Amino acid sequence: MSAEHADALITGPVRGRGAGINPGNRFEDVRLHVLGEHLDDEARDRRGVAANVRTEVLDDHSRTVINKVDSPDLGMRWTFNPYRGCEHGCVYCYARPTHETLGFSCGLDFETRIMAKRDAPALLRKELSAPRWAGEPIVMSGVTDPYQPLEARLRLVRACLEVFVEFRQPIAIITKNRMITRDLDLLRELAVHGTIGCAVSITTLDRTLAAKMEPRASSPSDRLRAIEELSSAGIPVSVMTAPIIPGLNDHEIPAILKAASEAGASGAGYVLLRLPHQLKGLFLDWLHRHYPDRAGKVEGQLREARDGKLYDATFGTRQRGVGARAEQIGRTFDVFSRRYGLNDARRSLNSDAFRKPVGADGSGQMGLFASD
State residue 23's pLDDT score.
85
For the residues 132-143, what does the mean pLDDT come to? 96
Q: Which residues contact 140 (CB under 8 A, 6 or more apart)?
A: 79, 80, 81, 82, 146, 157, 160, 171, 172, 173, 174
CB-CB contact of 34 with 21 (8 Å): yes
For the residues 122-129, what does the mean pLDDT come to? 98
According to DSSP, the β-strands at 113-116 and 83-84 are: antiparallel
Confidence label for 114 from pLDDT (cuts 50, 70 and 90): very high
Confidence label for 32 from pLDDT (cuts 50, 70 and 90): very low
State residue 68's pLDDT score.
95
**What span, in angstroms and rounded, lies between the C-alpha atoms of 66 and 53?**
31
**What span, in angstroms and rounded, lies between the C-alpha atoms of 68 and 70?**
7
pLDDT digits (tens, 9 = 90+) for 160-202: 999 999 999 999 999 999 999 999 999 999 999 999 999 999 9
Render 180-242 in DSSP notation, one character per residue: GGGGHHHHHHHHHTT-EEEEEE---S-HHHHHHHSTTSPPHHHHHHHHHHHHHTT--EEEEEE
For the residues 301-329, what does the mean pLDDT come to? 96
Confidence label for 74 from pLDDT (cuts 50, 70 and 90): confident
pTM to 2 decimal places: 0.88
Confidence label for 147 from pLDDT (cuts 50, 70 and 90): very high
* CA-based nearest residue to 1, from 96, 97, 107: 107
Confidence label for 71 from pLDDT (cuts 50, 70 and 90): confident
**What span, in angstroms and rounded, lies between the C-alpha atoms of 249 and 339?**
20
Asked which of 67-71, 219-223, 276-280, 346-350 is least confident by mean pLDDT, the reply is 346-350
Q: 6 or 201: which carries more pLDDT confidence?
A: 201
**What span, in angstroms and rounded, lies between the C-alpha atoms of 228 and 221?**
11
Cβ neighbours of 269 (radius 10 Å): 18
| Amino acid letter, 70 | D
State residue 361's pLDDT score.
56
Q: How far is CA 245 from the centre of its chain?
A: 16
| Amino acid letter, 71 | S
**66-68, strands of its sheet edge to edge:** 66-68, 78-80, 138-140, 171-175, 196-201, 237-244, 267-272
State residue 38's pLDDT score.
47
State residue 353's pLDDT score.
97
CB-CB contact of 97 with 25 (8 Å): no
The domains located in the chain, with CATH, are 3-342 (3.80.30.30)
**What span, in angstroms and rounded, lies between the C-alpha atoms of 295 and 309?**
15
CA angle in degrees (0–180, nearest 5) for 341-210-281: 110
Q: What does the mean pLDDT of the chain come to?
A: 89
State residue 40's pLDDT score.
52
Q: Please name the residue ranges forming H helices in 242-363.
A: 253-263, 279-290, 295-305, 323-339
State residue 29's pLDDT score.
60
For the residues 286-302, what does the mean pLDDT come to? 96
Evaluate if residue 43 carries a pLDDT over 60.
no
For the residues 349-368, what does the mean pLDDT come to? 72
State residue 45's pLDDT score.
52
Q: Which residues contact 35 (CB under 8 A, 6 or more apart)?
A: none
Confidence label for 365 from pLDDT (cuts 50, 70 and 90): very low
Bridge partners of 210, per DSSP, are: none
Evaluate if residue 34 carries a pLDDT over 50.
no
**Portion of the chain with pLDDT greater than 70, in percent:** 86
Cβ neighbours of 211 (radius 10 Å): 15
